[in-house]
Structure 1
């Protein structure tokens, strides 16, 4: 091994170490920013080392270098523009696009490597990773694009189940399996690769279309795990150790997160993939059938909050969609100046992706120490004077505690055990599970019907008027 090879391997090792430490630091909101920077530094070092290998080999043609440079400039420019312009409420869509880019790039690596060999038979150690790289990368690419479209509203967010969809998915899966075996066995030339790629692209669309509503955070996590796995396979295809390590870390962490998110909804991953569950949050008007609902005014809410000793805010997707996180924090600051103890209860699937709500609240200036996870905050609710629910629905529904409902067994925030509950919501529309929320008809619950951002402004103004 030459001195140059030794240096490159040491750089790859240092980069991999940065990835591992970065993931560890991302376990806590307090250290997540440092973890992100450390991981980005490791990736930068890895890219520089890969380019050094390219130049050192002496095989880089000017045209190829021009393509690499153009790609680097375009990618960096797009990343910079996205980071500055994309709002935090649209971050799930951006993450889905990142998943699509990662999966698509990994699939192209496999396709290019196969075509470079002219479709000649390969050793099984190369053909198997190549087949897996192509199929996982292509599924991730098309599936992530559909997921991003659902989150953005370009594709309907509800589950889309067309006649024969299950049989279509089964046929596509069978085609992928046969083509993958032929590709790994070196039979059929380039035809199996074409069938594999096209069937995988179609399967990604067919897999994500039937999924919607509250299952979307799980899907995003799952597609992230797919991206990592595809990248790891691409690393095996081209023999790059750093790609293998980085992809394995992303794949493993994404799989763990997917399992945790599914458990937080009491849904198996198989049921999520099967799709067809739930609806997008509706905006149905208050009807006569909701006679037991008690509507309250901004002044009513202000009195309860201003004279409470302990208040817990429960943010949900409605807060994120209305971009009301800053208004919620402003209200909290006023209450804290009066000596009210304020904290935030964050359900694992609050928002549209894992950690989305934590990032939104941190962006608004909420101290990390006030963010409470479900297991930590639930025992405190019986001692809470007022629980203010802002745009959260299914994750606060007491129906989850009894058998027979669509969300039975789903871990929820025990807001109904607080002394008083205020729910800020646009209407009596159902959540993603499509069932009534029993919290809304609890005698101690007051419903404040308004857009979350408007409601925060009105309640804050009422509190200021009340306390002078």
Structure 2
């Protein structure tokens, strides 16, 4: 009877997980989707704790207390601008949990599992531990503890594939030689951890949104494999949903950058850095003060704001909202152009603007906003770089060539707010800086926007 109730709870949880993904597909229903996923997971955890095979709750209680002690400060104290870093840490913790469960299963009953079950377990442990170290490196790059540029060394591809190949051979040995190999399994874990480091180390900050999505898919697959091993249907389903959604999102990210998976993982985009200069090809960068720049809004009737990582770094989303309200009170039509890979994770700009209570109606995706730029009086770029670079259309030799961009260069006037002439994560100088209609205002985005508000 207890098992029947557990399976019923699992069915409800599974339905909530599916609805969660469905509702998260729309900005208006994303919060409902978040609640659905949270409630579904709570039901799944409670139902699992009710299983009769659990004889002691001591260590489970200890784990719950530790998890709550770590997770609660992360949720409450970490600023919204650090959501990408928090996401990477969440992936790391989830993957570590999967890897540790697989390790415990092997040392508890490894010799009795059989070749097929051991192979599944090794796949689960490999994905879990490589995602753990890969996510930690992604966190380090996102938080700038580690260099955001690709870290390259001679023969890196050979070394990475050699480690992966050795891990696979070790897994096959563990699966098909029917004797316990505790030390060999420990060596396999070390190889999995090392491969996660080697995988992410040569990837630059520009590709971190896609890397986060790929690692999310790996963590989901790891959980799904563990579900097969433990005969837990909900774990299989939840892992499959996580893995497939992460894969689909990664494909969308690659499409948004006109890149392939192989190019993201092994292309090392950003290791060659172009140097921006005040003058180039007879064109010069025009710098302005906020007070001078405010004059362009006197006759403006339509404005498109393009947010980027610079807005997140300056924590300027609330000032952007105030600036938007000020323009709207003057009868200006204000919209936001949202690029799929703006910031450091998928949906980064949406999250920040939602926190500042910017109306969903103002957020317009790239495909819908691009046709509006030729009729836009002023396009304001707040800390975005690569996603607005016309080199993606005009320079075949550029690493960005072919990448769909927000076509702000077609607006009548461009106001570019940026700290300096430094390049974006791709290391490519932005041709937008040199257009005669581009007004560059250098400085912290929050400070500049406050001065613009005062000038208006």
Equivalent residue number for residue 452 of structure 2:
459
DSSP-derived class of the 2:417 partner: strand
Show the 5 A alignment for 1:420-435: 420-435=413-428
Matches of 1:107 and 1:79, distance apart in 2: 19
Structure 1's consecutive aligned runs of 4 or more residues displaced over 3 angstroms after TM superposition are 279-282, 284-291
Provide TM-score, normalisation by structure 1: 0.93
How far has the Cα of 1:209 moved from its partner?
A: 0.6
1:24 aligned residue (22, 25, 39): 22
How far has the Cα of 1:14 moved from its partner?
A: 0.5
Q: Is the 8 A contact 1:264 1:411 kept in 2?
A: yes
Count the aligned residue pairs.
453
2:128 aligned residue (137, 150, 160): 137
DSSP-derived class of the 2:429 partner: coil
1:344 aligned residue (330, 336, 342): 336
1:98 aligns with 2:98: no
2:400 aligned residue (389, 407, 418): 407
1:10 aligned residue (8, 11, 16): 8
DSSP-derived class of the 1:145 partner: helix
Q: Is the 8 A contact 1:157 1:280 kept in 2?
A: no
How far has the Cα of 1:355 moved from its partner?
A: 0.5
Equivalent residue number for residue 148 of structure 2:
157
Matches of 2:76 and 2:7, distance apart in 1: 35
Q: Is the 8 A contact 1:19 1:42 kept in 2?
A: yes
How far has the Cα of 1:291 moved from its partner?
A: 5.5
Matches of 2:355 and 2:217, distance apart in 1: 26
Equivalent residue number for residue 161 of structure 2:
170
Matches of 2:114 and 2:71, distance apart in 1: 38
Q: Is the 8 A contact 1:121 1:185 kept in 2?
A: no
Matches of 1:362 and 1:308, distance apart in 2: 25
Q: Is the 8 A contact 1:279 1:431 kept in 2?
A: no
Matches of 1:408 and 1:287, distance apart in 2: 23
How far has the Cα of 1:234 moved from its partner?
A: 1.3
1:417 aligns with 2:410: yes
Matches of 2:276 and 2:366, distance apart in 1: 30
1:42 aligned residue (40, 51, 59): 40
1:148 aligns with 2:139: yes
How far has the Cα of 1:213 moved from its partner?
A: 2.2
Gaps of 5+ in 1: 464-468
Equivalent residue number for residue 55 of structure 2:
60
Show the 5 A alignment for 1:256-271: 256-271=248-263
Q: Is the 8 A contact 2:279 2:285 kept in 1?
A: no
2:246 aligned residue (229, 254, 263): 254
How far has the Cα of 1:188 moved from its partner?
A: 5.4
Q: Is the 8 A contact 1:30 1:368 kept in 2?
A: yes
Equivalent residue number for residue 224 of structure 1:
216
Q: How far does the alpha carbon of each residue in 1:22-79 deviate from its partner, in whole angstroms, 9 at most, with x for none? A: 11000111111110111110110010010000xx23x513xxx211001112212322
Matches of 2:203 and 2:96, distance apart in 1: 21
1:238 aligns with 2:230: yes
How far has the Cα of 1:85 moved from its partner?
A: 0.2
Matches of 2:273 and 2:128, distance apart in 1: 31
How far has the Cα of 1:426 moved from its partner?
A: 1.2
Gaps of 5+ in 2: none
Q: 1:127 to 1:103 in 2, by over 3 A?
A: same
Equivalent residue number for residue 466 of structure 1:
none
Matches of 1:398 and 1:164, distance apart in 2: 34
